């Protein structure tokens, strides 16, 4: 009985997600993105398909902690998904593996205590203790899996105009279904 209930619950969630995502997808408010690498693990894993809300920032601005999909500033043919750490006007610093914004350590469920952000002496935007000023209309983004992420530490800021949308749901594979936070 428990197995049947679990199966029906999964089917129900998939149907609801499909209706939600694909109705908005058809109206142009959502698009899909396949995660190519593990740089956002454990939040999003390699080969996960995610729904991206392309209209999420039409009336509001992105917030710290949002996972955005964007066109990379170094190659307009590539798209990445990363977490926003620094907003325009912020001062970002990585110190002893932890992220500080405007002098205060970021602490939330989106930035768990066990997450360690690597720094490297050769990076332009991610050396230990370096204070990075985020310019207007730009974002500083990091991958959740620091050691396996090409992000703002190496190549700098994401222009606001490059943001495609907000990652909202992992919808494939079905056993990984979840809202993204």
Report the CATH number at residue 40. Answer: 2.10.109.10
What pLDDT score was predicted for residue 17? Answer: 62
Burial of 19 (C-beta count, 10 Å sphere; 0-12/13-18/19+): exposed
Structure confidence at residue 134 as a pLDDT band (50, 70, 90): very high
Structure confidence at residue 112 as a pLDDT band (50, 70, 90): confident
Mean pLDDT of the chain: 86
Angle 92-96-101 from CA coordinates, rounded to 5°: 20
What are the two backbone dihedrals, phi and then psi, of residue 42, each rounded to the nearest 5 degrees? -90, -5
DSSP bridge partners of 179: 169
Higher pLDDT among residues 4 and 163, named by residue: 163
Question: What is the number of structural domains in the chain?
Answer: 1
Structure confidence at residue 131 as a pLDDT band (50, 70, 90): very high
Average pLDDT, integer, range 62-86: 95
Q: Which percentage of the chain shows pLDDT scores above 90?
A: 52
- The residue written with tokens 């969630």 in the block is 13
What pLDDT score was predicted for residue 26? Answer: 45
Q: Which of 93, 81, 17, 23 is nearest to 48 (CA)?
A: 81
Neighbouring C-alpha atoms within 13 Å toward the C-beta of 171: 22
**Residue 117 pLDDT exceeds 90:** no
Q: List, by residue number, the catalytic residues.
A: 39, 82
**Residue 24 pLDDT exceeds 60:** no
Domain interval for residue 115: 2-179
* Radius of gyration, CA atoms only, the chain: 17
């Amino acid at each position: 009985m428990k197995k049947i209930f679990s199966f029906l619950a999964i089917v129900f969630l998939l149907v609801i997600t499909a209706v939600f995502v694909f109705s908005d997808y058809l109206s142009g408010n959502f698009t899909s993105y396949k995660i190519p690498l593990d740089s956002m693990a454990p939040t999003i894993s390699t080969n996960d398909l995610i729904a991206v809300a392309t209209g999420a920032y039409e009336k509001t601005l992105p917030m710290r902690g949002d996972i955005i999909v964007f066109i990379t500033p170094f190659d307009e043919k590539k798209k990445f998904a990363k977490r926003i750490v620094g907003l325009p006007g912020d001062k970002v610093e990585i110190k002893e593996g932890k992220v500080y914004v405007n002098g205060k350590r970021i602490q939330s469920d989106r930035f768990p205590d066990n997450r360690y952000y690597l720094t490297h002496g050769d990076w332009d935007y991610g050396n230990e203790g370096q204070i990075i000023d985020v310019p207007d209309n730009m974002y500083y983004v990091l991958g959740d899996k620091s050691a396996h992420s090409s992000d703002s530490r190496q190549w700098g800021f994401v222009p606001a105009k490059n943001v495609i949308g907000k990652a909202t749901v992992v919808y494939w594979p079905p056993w990984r279904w979840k809202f993204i936070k």
